[in-house]
Structure 1
Amino acid sequence: MDGDGDRAVLERYLAASDAVAALSLESFGDTELLGALGELEVADRRRAALIHQILARLSREANPVALGGTSWKALLADRLKITAVDAQRRLDHARDLGPRVSLIGESQEPVLPLVAALVAQGAIGADHVVRIREFFAKVPSWVSVADREGCEASLALQAPGLTPEELKKVADKLLTYLDQDGPEPDDTDPAPPSGSLALGPQRADGMSVLSGELDPEARAVWEAIYAKLAAPGMCNRDDPHPCVSGTPTREQIEGDHRSLGRRQLDAMVAVGRMVLQSGTLGQHNGLPVTVIISTTLQDLQAAAGLPPTPPPPATLFDEEVGRACRPARAGR
């Protein structure tokens, strides 16, 4: 469905919500009222799945400061007139149940895809999600990915038929089954997690592969940088006058068609340029730290649209050298 079609559906949904809110339900009997209550509960739960999509996309693509807030939590609390706790809960649920995009812009399923599907069906509500997320927060780090997926499948199978309190009891039993001995005592300070990055060799097309893992500090640093410099309209290398500070213009934001991965790459380049231009790196091997670009005369002429320089004419010296280097033929 295109954008206009989506907007039309949303407008019809809101109009229907107004009509439903105006119902008196005086003609409903007790059984009908109870049934209507259950149907409305399912509708509200399904609506939460759409909210997860909205919050996931906003968190990924937009900047809360540009929208008038100091953070997403503060912006949601003010715009929706809800508590900061409720705003954070919605953001947390959207992070685990909303669609994701990789660093190179590829679509990925939610962190908890089975739970997200149940919410979209209206089978479970926000309190069920809270209990499931609490369970996974307590799962030991040594539990394999396959076992974690099995735990999600087990909880997702039982959750629709349980109250949140009953689901918590099931989750607690499952956690005990996973780690029957409980956490091992450790009198020493745990070693902080460490990460690494590896920059691969430059290919013939000029591209290079960057791979590795970020530790919590590195991720926190780059998330803060990306929130500002990788926002739509920021640090766009396709823009003749890119915005690298402040807030981009509306034209820069609306005209930015880069993928998330490209915006993050442009942000990395912008940060590197800022550091190089700051002069704080000093010298390396006796020279100022800067970018050195090497090329050939032929490449420069090709880029400028000039014909290549013809080779110099051969000289007598060149001919003598050529004869001296030419191998002698057999029989002479």
Structure 2
Amino acid sequence: MKAIVQERFGPPDVLQLVDTDLPHIGPDDVLVRVHAAAVNPYDWHMVRGDPYIARLIGGVGLTRPKQRVAGVDGAGQVAAVGSRVRGPAPGDEVLGWFDGSFAEYARADADRVVPKPAGLTFEQAAAVPMTGQTALRAIRDAGQVQAGQRVLINGAAGGVGSFAVQIAAALGAEVTGVCSTRNVELVGSIGAAHVIDYTAEDFTDGRTRYDVILDNAGSQPLGRLRRALTPTGTLVFNAGGSPGHLLGPIATILRVAVLDGLVRQRLRPLPSTWAREHLLVVTELVETGQVTPVLDRSYPLADTAAALRHVEDGHARGKVVITVT
């Protein structure tokens, strides 16, 4: 099969398209023929081995990548199942978390895939797993958003932001999205009641205060973000930072954890976790028409490095995906 592999850490150019063996699946796994894969900020962090502390705390690899085939989520069709699998069956169309999704075939735990909504293309479905469940956890779980609350989403036009705007609106919140000039119309079209162009207006000036702020951009100091919150509001952090950092978002998480115990406002970092329940909730929102994946562009498998560079630049509108087969 064709796959995108990396033998060392570095910029996206270290990725190579090669012929390699099909993944081996265990008794609780499924083999998925990948039709489309998502490109996430997480992916370029893993390709670079960045932040550097991530190499020491496991999962990434110390001097070389633990995962040779890149990519973590996508959509496709089940090709084979392990002996203990009782859910997905060959031929089923699924989306979820795949080990090495930048390839024609990928292995997945059977409990990490769910049925693909029939109304979605494979490219749209590939956009759902990581960004959709991250937005759900940020808005519903960490932010505890309720109907009637004022919610601001910084970085509203990105992958997580575009899902978060729609999920918060579906919960009945009054949503304000922050984005660049070229994305104002997009953010308004997906459910934001108000849109702030950050090139023309400072949402941290304190004139309007919000019950919940989701920060996907990391563009404002903590003190200024808190100034835009109500006295008992909630600030949720989901900003990974730029390449070349020793600690990356871990430094923010530590700072937030210390400050959270000293102030009335709730300060919540958003660690990376996965739960099947999250993915099922998001796909239900998609199936009922309350959420629609927003796609920026797609790249062929051979151009995966270019796709990662585009995402790393930080200006993607919605999701970038790889069309595989």
Question: TM-score when scaled to structure 1?
Answer: 0.18
- Structure with larger Rg: 1
The structure with more helix, counted as a fraction of residues: 1
Structure number with greater CO (CA < 8 Å, separation at least 6) is 2
The structure with more strand, counted as a fraction of residues: 2
Question: TM-score when scaled to structure 2?
Answer: 0.19
